[in-house]
Amino acid sequence: MAVTREQVLAALSRVPYPGFTRDIVASGVVDALEISGDRVRLRL
């Protein structure tokens, strides 16, 4: 079963942005997100 964009973003939203109280998604650190089958490509 392939993951969805929402599932990946939910998982990434639990990663804190160092030195801040926000996560890397809310801080805008995630620049690009591609999902192809069972592979996820992420650019910060």
Share of the chain residues as helix, strand and coil, in percent rounded to the nearest 5: 20, 25, 55
- Output the six-digit token pair for 29: 């650190």
What is the domain range of residue 16? 5-43
Q: How many structural domains compose the chain?
A: 1
pLDDT tens digit at each of 44 positions of the chain = 789 999 999 999 999 999 999 999 999 999 999 999 889 999 99
Q: In this structure, what DSSP letter does residue 25 have?
A: T
User: What pLDDT does 8 receive?
Assistant: 97
Q: What is the DSSP letter of 44?
A: -
